[in-house]
Structure 1
């Protein structure tokens, strides 16, 4: 039975959505194609009709995850009187720690991407990193662009690092302490930010 182009595209989108969550939850090498396709409700055989390779899917999934996270953060920032605080409090949170499948790809996959051979994936992670730095630079208060950029790079490293560390420590109390310390420290160092 021939499948319509519309169904093929819907299936492709479902695979990308599923992969975007599962790669963040399990890592790039933590799930194989067969299990990923099964999780998407499709057969393994259809994979290579939709994607050139697993690397191709990884790039598409990371792009999807970044788009979703960016849209969510943009809404949070737009609806806040203190956009930097809104960003920090959401990113450096128990919620983000506990739901990597719907969180930031940097916190979930940066270490995987650094070890990965695919230049397109590494290039995209560079773009994601630059985008976060640009966003934070715009949100950090002050007029000195160099100082704002320096603060943004430090804030991004602290934000990503705190989420990664909070996920890896087995002690729930220490995990929450890491998040609370970094979140409170970043907000205290950059009070009453202005949106760009």
Structure 2
């Protein structure tokens, strides 16, 4: 039985969505092709009609996830300090800590991106630099924009490492407080 082109695209999107969520929650390297396909109700053999390799899937996940992050955190490129502060409040929230599979890919997949081939790393760099440029325009400082980006990702990683929700919340609120002070000082 032949499937329509739209069915193939829908299946590819389901695979990307499901694989991204699994990768952010469990790590991409730890999940096999069969597990990725089983999550959407298909056999492992069907994978290769959508991607030529697991590396190609990872590259597509990075592209998709970072483009979504850019949309959420940078909007249409026009920022205000108030919008940036709302983004930081969301990013440094317990909901973001607890919903790893639905959140930013950088805290979960950053180490795997760093170990990837140059093409994937370049792709990630391009998206992150676009976000940094938008935030730098809002903040009026290239270096503060890099510091805010790095501190947010690091704070989320540290908060997720903690077991006690009170400690997690303290990590997040402390980082938000410091970042707010830094941004207010400009």
Provide the TM-score with structure 1 as the length reference.
0.86
Q: For 1:156, which of 146, 149, 166 is the aligned residue?
A: 149
Cα separation, partners in 2 of 1:2 and 1:76, compared to 1, 3 Å: closer
Conserved 8 A contact 2:79-2:138 = no
Query: How far is the alpha carbon of 1:128 from its aligned partner?
Result: 2.5
Query: How far is the alpha carbon of 1:5 from its aligned partner?
Result: 2.0
Query: How far is the alpha carbon of 1:77 from its aligned partner?
Result: 8.9
Cα separation, partners in 2 of 1:136 and 1:74, compared to 1, 3 Å: closer
Cα separation, partners in 2 of 1:126 and 1:74, compared to 1, 3 Å: closer
1:130 pairs with 2:129 = yes
Aligned to 1:72: 72
Aligned to 1:40: 40
Aligned to 1:145: none
Cα separation, partners in 2 of 1:75 and 1:6, compared to 1, 3 Å: same
Tell me how far apart the structure 2 counterparts of residues 175 and 112 of structure 1 sit (CA, whole Å).
24
1:41-78 Cα distance to aligned partner (Å, 9 max, x none):
22211101110100100111121112222333345997
**Mean Cα displacement is larger for which, 118-127 or 66-75?**
66-75
Provide the TM-score with structure 2 as the length reference.
0.90
Aligned pairs for 1:1-196 (under 5 A) are 1-74=1-74, 82-116=82-116, 118-140=117-139, 142=140, 148-191=141-184
Conserved 8 A contact 1:166-1:175 = yes
Structure 1 vs Structure 2 CA RMSD: 2.2
Q: What runs of 5+ residues in structure 1 fail to find an aligned partner?
A: 143-147
Tell me how far apart the structure 1 counterparts of residues 129 and 24 of structure 2 sit (CA, whole Å).
20
Q: What runs of 5+ residues in structure 2 fail to find an aligned partner?
A: none
| SS across alignment from 1:51 | coil
1:71-128 Cα distance to aligned partner (Å, 9 max, x none):
3334599797712211211111111111121211111111111123x22211112113
Tell me the matched-pair count: 186
Tell me how far apart the structure 1 counterparts of residues 82 and 3 of structure 2 sit (CA, whole Å).
49
